[in-house]
Structure 1
Amino acid sequence: MVKYLSVIGAVIVLIIILVIGFVVWLNSSNPDYVWKKLNDEQMKSSFVFNKNGDTVISINPDERLALASTVKIMVALEYSFQIENGNVKPDEQVKLSDLEAYYVENLDGGAHEAWINSIKENNMISNEAVPIREVAKGMMAFSSNANTEYLMDKLGIEQIENRMKELDIYEHDPLYFFTASLFIPYELKNEHYPNESMKEVKDDIVSLMREMDKQEWIQLSTDIHEKLKNEPTYKTDAKIKDWWNTDFDQLFSDKFIRSSASEYANLIHKINHKMLPEEAQFEMEYVMGSLMENEANQQWLNRAGKKGGSTAYILTDAIFAEDKEGDYYEAVIFFNDLKGLEAYKLMKSLNEFELKLLKDEQFQDKLTNQQ
C-alpha cells in the first residue's frame, strides 16, 4: 500500500512539474518558435524582410491573408495625405462623443479605453474633444477600432482605396467598416428570424453570413455604420455582449480584409525611405512612431514605425526602422488560421524575433541561410 501511494505521489509530482514547465515555456519569448512556424508548411503564413532596399528573406510573399488591425496602416496613409493636401488640419478637434458612437465594449481588447486613459493622463482633452492627429495615433498606437471607424467615415473609404491604387497597392481586398460589421448577425436575425433569440438561430445566422459575398458584406456594413452614427440607441438595442461568442469571432477572422506581405512591405519601404510628400511623411511617422517613445529604442534607432493586429486566429505585423548605423529595415509578418495556443505563444515571441531581426546580424544571416 505504501509503495502504491509512493508511485501515485511520484506521478502527481511529475505531472505538476510538466504543467509548470509547459506554463513557463508558453509564457516565455522564443524567436526561434516564430521562425519555425513561418517555415511550417501546415501554417498559413507570409514573411518579407528587407534590408537597405533589398529583399533578403521572402516566404509566401504574395499569399493574400487576413490582416486584422494591420489594415489600419491604409487609413493612416489617407489621413496623412489629407493633411498634406489641406483637407484635414492636424489640430482639428474631434468630439469624444463622436468616437463613442463606434465604441463596442469588450470587443477591442480594451484598446479604446487604454487610449482614453492615455490622452487624459497627457492632458490632451479640451472641451470633451481631442485633436484629430491624436485620434489617428490612437488608431495606430492603441489600435482603437472606434477611432478607425470614425476616420474611415471622415476620410472616405473610396478615397482611402484610391490612395492605395495611387501608391500601387492592388493586391488588396476592398475595405469596409469593420466595427459596423460586428452587428451583421443582429441585422440578419432581425430580417430572417425576428421572433427567435440569437441563441436559437445562431447556427443559421453563421450559415447566412458565410454565404454572403463581398459586396453584400460591404453594403450591409455601410448601412449599419450609418445606424451607429445616427441612431443613438442602436448599440444598446443590439445587446451584442449577450450573444457574441467564439463562433462569430472565428467567422469574422475568416471573412476579414486580406492582402499580401509583399504589398505591405512595398508600402512601408516607401515610408521608411521617405518617399511620401513632406507633410504626409511627417504625419505617417508620427502616428506610427510609438516605438520611438521608448528610450531604449532611441539609443540605437533614428526612426521607426509599426502596426500590428491580432485576433484569436490571426497575428500580423508590419515594421520599418532606420538604425544609427544608417541601415534601413522593413519586415512584414502574417499568420492566419492559428489554433489552440499558437497565437498566444507567437504573440509572446514576436517582439523579440523582430528585435533580433533588426539588431543581430548573426540572427539575420542564420535566417537568410535557412530559408
Structure 2
Amino acid sequence: MLQKIGLKETKEDLLTFVKKNKKDVSVTIIENEDVLLEWNANQKTPLASTVKLVVLFHFVKAVSSGDIKLDEKVALADIERFYIDRTDGGAHTYWLEVNAFSEHATLLDVAKGMMQFSSNACTDYLIDLLDLEKINNRMKQAGLTEHDELMPLTPKLLWPAYVSDHEQDALKQMSGVSHEQYKSLMNEIFNIMKNDPEHKKMLEEKIMEKDLLSFRIQSLLTQKLTKSTTNQYAHFMKRLQDELLTTEEKRLFSQIVLGETLKTEKDQYIWYKGGATLFVFTAALYRKTDISSISISLFINDPKAKNSHWIGEVFNEFMLTAAMDQNFRQRLIQAFTT
C-alpha cells in the first residue's frame, strides 16, 4: 500500500478541508458588483495580522494629508521597544536582515515591515505614532462598523508575566477580565514597553523561563484579538479601490501592501494581507484587472490547532488561486452552495 510520506498538503487539500468543516469557515466573495458567496459572513473571528490593513489605510491617509512623511527617519531602537523575541515567526528579524539598516529606517520602510514582512513591532510603532483613537475613528468612518476596536498587538504577549509567575494562576487571572479591564491592562503594558525597557526585559524573560505562552494561554490570547467578519473585509477591500482612496493614495497603498510582486500584466492592483495564530487563519484579497474585480475574504477557525501545521503552508497560495483562477473560485463557491 502506498503511504503519503513526504507529500505535502496542497491547496486541493485545503479545499477539501473547508468543504468538510464549513461551520468553522467564513467566506465572502464579491465579483465586480455581485456578491457571489456569503457563508457565515457575519461571524466575528479574531483577525490576527489581517487587521494591519486598517493601520495601513490610516497610514496612507496620514501621508496624504501631510501629517507624516514617508522619508522621515525612525531610530531602530524606538521600534525595538515593541519587539518581543521569538513571538512573530521571525518576521521582524527577517525585515531587519533583508534591509540591512544601520541605525535608522524610514517610515516607508516601517510600513513595508508591517505589511510585507508582518512585523508586529513595526505595526505597534505605527499604531503609537498614528494614535490609536484616530485609527479607530477612521475605521468606523470607512464603514467598518462590525469591527472590534483596534488594540496594539504586542502587549498581550507580556500579559501572563505581568499578572503571575505561574501558568495556572496566569490563566485564572486572565480568564475573568472584562473588556474594560483588558483595555486598561494593555495600556499599562504598552506604556511599560515604551518607557521602561528594564521592566519589559524582565517580563520577556519571565515569559520564556516560566513557559507562560502555553497552548491554553495562546488559545485565550487569540480570543482576545481584535475581531471582525469576512463581510466587512471583502467590502472594505473593494471600497478602498472604489471610493476610499484617491488615485495617488492607491499607488502608495499598492507600494506598501503585499501584492505588487504577484501582479501579472493584466492586473491593475493586487492587495493582500493574511494573518494566523495556532487557532485561526484569516485573509483579505482584492484584485482588479482591466475588465473585472474580485474581492475575497476567508477566515478559518481551527480551535484545537489540529491542522495549523499544514494550513499555514498552503493558505496564501489557496487565496491567490481563488482570486486568479475562475475555475478554482467556482469550485470554492460550490463547496458552500451545493
Contact kept, 8 Å, 1:319 with 1:330, in 2: the verdict is yes
Contact kept, 8 Å, 1:102 with 1:229, in 2: the verdict is yes
Distance 1:45 1:331 in 2: 13
Instruction: Kindly provide the CA deviation profile for residues 270-301 of structure 1, in whole angstroms up to 9, marking residues without a partner as x.
Output: 1233641344333222221x32224xx33442
Contact kept, 8 Å, 1:309 with 1:317, in 2: the verdict is yes
Instruction: Kindly provide the CA deviation profile for residues 7-43 of structure 1, in whole angstroms up to 9, marking residues without a partner as x.
Output: xxxxxxx6xx53xx1542xx23133x33333344564
Distance 1:42 1:281 in 2: 34
Contact kept, 8 Å, 2:241 with 2:250, in 1: the verdict is no
Superposed CA RMSD: 2.0
Q: Which moved more, 1:52-61 or 1:110-119?
A: 52-61
Contact kept, 8 Å, 2:63 with 2:69, in 1: the verdict is yes
What fraction of aligned residue pairs are identical, expressed as a percent?
Answer: 27
**Change over 3 Å in CA distance of 1:269–1:179 after alignment to 2:** same
Distance 1:111 1:213 in 2: 31
Contact kept, 8 Å, 1:320 with 1:331, in 2: the verdict is yes
Q: Which residue of 2 aligns with 1:90?
A: 70
- Confirm whether residue 176 of structure 1 aligns to residue 151 of structure 2: yes
Distance 2:115 2:167 in 1: 33
Contact kept, 8 Å, 1:92 with 1:131, in 2: the verdict is yes
Q: Which residue of 2 aligns with 1:72?
A: 52
Q: Which residue of 1 aligns with 2:42?
A: 62
Contact kept, 8 Å, 1:38 with 1:59, in 2: the verdict is no
Q: Secondary structure at the match of 2:310?
A: helix
From 221, 225, 241, the equivalent of 1:272 is 241
Q: Secondary structure at the match of 2:259?
A: helix
How far 1:304 sits from its partner (Å)?
Answer: 0.7
How far 1:138 sits from its partner (Å)?
Answer: 0.7
Q: Which residue of 2 aligns with 1:226?
A: 191
Contact kept, 8 Å, 1:172 with 1:259, in 2: the verdict is yes
Q: Which residue of 2 aligns with 1:309?
A: 275
Q: Which moved more, 1:350-359 or 1:258-267?
A: 350-359
Which protein is bigger by CA-based radius of gyration? 1
How far 1:44 sits from its partner (Å)?
Answer: 2.2
**Change over 3 Å in CA distance of 1:70–1:355 after alignment to 2:** closer
How far 1:214 sits from its partner (Å)?
Answer: 1.4
Q: Which residue of 1 aligns with 2:85?
A: 105
Amino acid at match of 1:49: I
- Confirm whether residue 353 of structure 1 aligns to residue 334 of structure 2: no
Query: How many equivalent residue pairs?
Result: 332
Contact kept, 8 Å, 1:264 with 1:332, in 2: the verdict is yes
Contact kept, 8 Å, 1:175 with 1:257, in 2: the verdict is yes
Q: Which moved more, 1:153-162 or 1:348-357?
A: 348-357
**Structure 1 unaligned residues grouped into runs of 5+:** 1-13, 190-197
Q: Which residue of 1 aligns with 2:259?
A: 291
Q: Which residue of 1 aligns with 2:309?
A: 344
Distance 2:81 2:137 in 1: 27
Q: Which residue of 1 aligns with 2:108?
A: 133
Q: Secondary structure at the match of 2:16?
A: helix
Q: Which residue of 2 aligns with 1:144?
A: 119
* Structure 2 counterparts to residues 23-34 of structure 1, below 5 A: 23-24=6-7, 27-31=8-12, 33-34=13-14
Q: Which moved more, 1:137-146 or 1:238-247?
A: 238-247
Q: So what's the TM-score if we normalise by structure 2?
A: 0.91
**Change over 3 Å in CA distance of 1:256–1:23 after alignment to 2:** farther
How far 1:59 sits from its partner (Å)?
Answer: 1.0
Amino acid at match of 1:92: E
Q: Secondary structure at the match of 1:178?
A: coil
- Confirm whether residue 185 of structure 1 aligns to residue 165 of structure 2: no
Contact kept, 8 Å, 2:302 with 2:308, in 1: the verdict is no
Contact kept, 8 Å, 1:66 with 1:259, in 2: the verdict is yes
Amino acid at match of 2:260: M
Q: Which residue of 2 aligns with 1:46?
A: 26
Q: Which residue of 1 aligns with 2:208?
A: 241
**Structure 2 unaligned residues grouped into runs of 5+:** none
**Change over 3 Å in CA distance of 1:279–1:299 after alignment to 2:** closer
Contact kept, 8 Å, 1:265 with 1:330, in 2: the verdict is yes
